[in-house]
Chain A
Amino acid sequence: MSVDTEEQSRSTSRDEALAELERDWGERPSLRGWFSTVDHKRIGRRYMVTAGIFFILAGTDAMILRTQLARPNATLLSPEMYDQLFTMHGTAMIFLFSTPMFFGFGNFLVPLLIGARDMAFPRLNAFGYWVFVCAGTVMFTSQLVGRAPDGGWFGYVPLTDTPYSTGVNLDVYSLGLLFLGVSTTAGAINFIVTVVKMRAPGMSLNRMPLFVWAIVGTSFMVIFALPALNLANAMLFLDRRFGAHFFDPGHGGSTLLWQHLFWIFGHPDVYIIVMPALGIVSAVLPAFCRRGVVAYPLMVLAIVTISIISFGVWVHHMFATGLPQLSYSFFSAASTLITIPSGIQIFAWLFTMLRGRIVVRTPFLFVVGFIVTFVLGGFTGVMFAITAFDQQVTDSYFVVAHFHYVLFGGAVFPMLAGIYFWLPKFTGRMYAERLSRWAFWLVFLGFNTTFMPMHVSGLLGMPRRIYTYPGGLGWDIWNLISTVGAYILAVGLLLVLIGVVHAVRRGAPAPDDPWQGDTLEWGTTSPPRPYNFAPVPQVHSLHPMWDERTTGALAIDEPLPDHRAMTTSELDGREEGVIEMPEASLLPLAVAAGILVVVLGLLWAWYWTGWYWFAGAGALLIFGAVARWLWPPERTPEEAGVAS
């Protein structure tokens, strides 16, 4: 054979193999294909878009709140409306936006970052997404009909228990969050198993990108923290609807029990929100500093210790409840401890910048904006850990300022950095640099103008959660500035949205690796093919894309078809075997629909019409769909035709 024909036959065999891969992994473009997809990239994008819509809705709530608060004695909102708005704003921002947005990032990116074909449980993944959509829709629908939760995002009893709260509002809260909890738990388990078992050969734990570490740490926190919230909400529902007495001191219950359960979840949840953000920062920096994040082992250690310590500090949310003094001292000390691992991360990023060659692009700007705001939020956080100070400013606007610096500064800035950074990978398009810089400056200035004055109004004694206030207390000017800032911020966020839509519609086609990034996702096409990587990459270092051995292996022209994925060992990523991956399916949607019927049954049919069978019908639907999902059972090797 001459060299030419050999070349030719190799490339046709390559094309055939790629076509086969495409057939094995691609999905039909039909409507059915849309509903039945299990591709982690599509699910990830959907998570992000849906969470983005919830962000817009919750943000609109916030804008209405700020509009009301602009001037004293305003009458735009009734007190009842105000209660619903701030509760839905907080609840949605925490539960329907932050975590799902990061789940979107994680879903899209984790398999790409670890060189896998898909998540470990693709159907469970689709199921989690559908549950999230349904739960969020139920909760926001309640706002449309004016029956949204109105007890604050942490739903303190006795305010939220009968007899102080009749009506369906708080049932929407407890059942809605329980419903959502199913999705979050499923997602967390899926992330851990994917990372533990599906990493590309050679990717030992010490070669795992920091973003992946962050997602794993987050998922472990979800596994151990979320049950407390789920339990609390189940108890609340039993109290409210079935006459139980968990939180009713008149019958031996305890109101503080709610606070304990809530904050055993709630404090780790702050890190559940912020940790993936820190992971994004660690992913973005190397590309714009042209070097890996310094002190990788320390960074991993920081992630692990934060995941653990965050479970030991919840009482700092309860310093005003009159618990024993000793517990204050203990939790006060524990809370200040958490600054150590957080500090390590901040310093590691600063040193990365110092020792790198910085290229300033929009994602980098957002990272800098994050560091500034997050550090400020951290300062006020440490102030709160001191009981004496906390008792002065608790439930004032100082708190509102603090947690927005942490949550907006600590989560939304990195998220925006991540959106610009990975937009080429998500969509195959580049964003427009000038427009996005405008967006950054407006968001940054708007953010600080909104929330910086709240420190002042808080110190001046303005309580949070008041629907209006009399003039002449010295609060007027600070509130006006806040509201103006909020509008600037909104314009900035609108520019982000326009930028993304513009990129998707008209952006320049993105190259595979626009930033010369260090991790595997840049080693595949933009956007990636349904099978992610043609040959499964072999990893040799922490920065596979800066490592010629990996890039060489990725270029190998022998893709490996089959609808299968590989499993590797937990610690050092040695190959262990291959597994069959499940096909696309409508069943995840069906199970989610079943749960939706149960929730609607409990919430609405039963309440208003006494149709308790409605919930039973949902249970049947769940049962049937799960049975179908698990059928057929595993076959014996003889049946399956596998030689033994």
Chain B
Amino acid sequence: MTAVVEKATSPRLLSAEMPSGRTTGWWGMVLFVTTEATIFAALLGSYFYIRFQSGPHWPPPPLEDPKLTKVVIMTALLLPSSVPVMWAERGIRKGQRWRLRAGLAITMVLGLAFLGMQAWEYSEDLKKHTLTTDAYSSLFYTTTTLHGFHVAVGLLMVGWLLAASLRGSFGYRRHERVRLTAIYWHFVDVVWVAIFLCLYLSPRL
């Protein structure tokens, strides 16, 4: 019987093999992203709660519907940025470090451009209304700023990966953190789509 248990439970024997299945890190990140998503869901829920209690005009006058041009460009920047992350992750699984570096660099550029556009958008919005104007504005700024903060955190993670990969870290067997960052980045991306639909498009419906 010793042998059976030994075979099943010896870390030494097991570590010789490639680990299979989902890692603890994967589960941790997915659960983290889930609670974060719940925060955004509650925030958007609050948005509609307030909206359906307010008068026939939304956003409440004198505010106009949010402008779309810049936001469409922002969406066009952020949405495709998941692709290079995916490409980079696939690459490092094959041991192609150049793909990791290139993919991350492209994502960095797209993400930074998004944040830059957001700052530009804010600089014009703030002339019309601020956090303290009314409940609509409070919701608008809180939601978009929280998302912008998530983009910034995501960029920190991507930048960190990029720095480490330039130093030669990660290989075809060790790239767990690339995978985790990718999950986070996709999440940030998907949340933006929800925000775009709710905050920017829905007032026009």
Contact = CB atoms under 8 A, between A and B. Distances in A.
A120 B28 contact: yes
Given A230-B39, A634-B169, A560 B134 contact: no
**Which bracket fits the contact residues of B?**
35 or more
A558 B12 CA distance: 13
A255 to B, nearest CB: 11
Interface stretch (A280-288, A327-335, A574-582, A604-612): A574-582
A523 to B, nearest CB: 14
Contact of B132 (A243, A553, A569): A243
B185 interface: no
A245 B138 contact: yes
A638 B135 contact: no
A552 interface: yes
Given A121-B28, A535-B9, A264 B42 contact: yes
A560 B31 contact: no
Q: Which of A198, A556, A565 has the most CB of B within 10 A?
A: A556
A634 B177 contact: yes
Given A224-B38, A227-B38, A578-B11, A246 B139 contact: yes
B9 A538 contact: yes
Nearest to A224: B38
A623 B89 CA distance: 26
Interface string B114-154: 00000000000000000111111111001000000000000
B205 interface: no
Interface string A202-227: 10000000000000000000011011
A644 interface: yes
Contacts of A537: 9
Contacts of B46: 231, 235, 246, 257, 261
A636 B38 CA distance: 36
A257 B174 contact: no
Given A192-B27, A245-B138, A560-B12, A576 B131 contact: no
A254 interface: yes
A635 interface: yes
A315 to B, nearest CB: 13
B60 interface: yes
Nearest to B10: A560
A116 B1 CA distance: 21
Contacts, number: 192
A512 interface: no
B104 to A, nearest CB: 13
Contacts of B60: 252
B69 interface: no
Given A198-B24, A638-B171, A633 B9 contact: no
B54 interface: yes
Interface string A243-264: 1111010011110010011001
Interface of A: 120-121, 124, 185, 188-190, 192-193, 196-198, 201-202, 223-224, 226-228, 230-231, 234-235, 238-239, 242-246, 248, 251-254, 257, 260-261, 264, 535-538, 552-553, 556, 558, 560, 562, 564-567, 569-570, 575-579, 627, 630, 632-640, 642, 644
Sorted nearest first, the 6 A-B pairs with minimum C-beta distance are A577-B19, A636-B171, A633-B164, A252-B135, A244-B138, A243-B132
Given A556-B5, A637-B171, 8 more contacts: A223-B38, A242-B132, A252-B54, A560-B10, A564-B15, A566-B14, A579-B19, A636-B173
Interface of B: 1-2, 4-6, 8-12, 14-15, 17-24, 27-28, 31-32, 34-36, 38-39, 41-43, 46, 49-50, 53-54, 60, 131-139, 142, 160-161, 164, 167-177
19 contacts: A120-B24, A185-B35, A193-B27, A201-B9, A223-B31, A226-B35, A244-B135, A244-B138, A252-B135, A253-B50, A257-B49, A257-B50, A264-B42, A538-B8, A567-B19, A633-B167, A636-B174, A637-B172, A640-B174
